[in-house]
Amino acid sequence: MNANGYAGIRFLLRLSLEGAQFMKELLVRDTWPVRAQAELELTGIAPRLPVKIAFDPPLLHRLLAELCDESGLVSRSALVQFFSKEPARSG
């Protein structure tokens, strides 16, 4: 991993022949597999409300899977629409 100092990071990885063929196929199809992970930590903020926040990753996975087309792809517009909706409230 090389940080270039210009608000970006470049990752370098040697690919096997199969990996290179996979990358070529992605470029030809103009599609990319995506995996995202977000973590949040707030340090030094005192709780002001008796609030509990819960996150259910399997539920999010199921909801996102419903957006997939028959080839397993999700369009950008479908993702933007999904994350623009008001979240469900419980309790």
Range of the domain at 69: 56-84
Residue 31 pLDDT: 77
In a domain, 10, yes or no: no
User: Which of 26-60 are b and which e, b meaning 16 or more Cβ less than 10 Å from the residue's Cβ?
Assistant: eeeeeeeeeeeeeeeeeeeeeeeeeeeeeeeeeee
Enter the pTM of the model. Answer: 0.40
Residue 10 in contact with residue 2, Cβ under 8 Å?
Answer: yes
In a domain, 42, yes or no: no
12, two tokens? 């370098």
Number of domains comprising the chain: 1
Residue 64: exposure state from Cβ atoms within 10 A (0-12, 13-18, ≥19)? middle
Question: What are the residue ranges in the chain where pLDDT is below 70?
Answer: 1-11, 34-47, 89-91
Residue 1 pLDDT: 37
In a domain, 80, yes or no: yes
Residue 2 pLDDT: 40
Residue 16 pLDDT: 92
Residue 71 pLDDT: 84
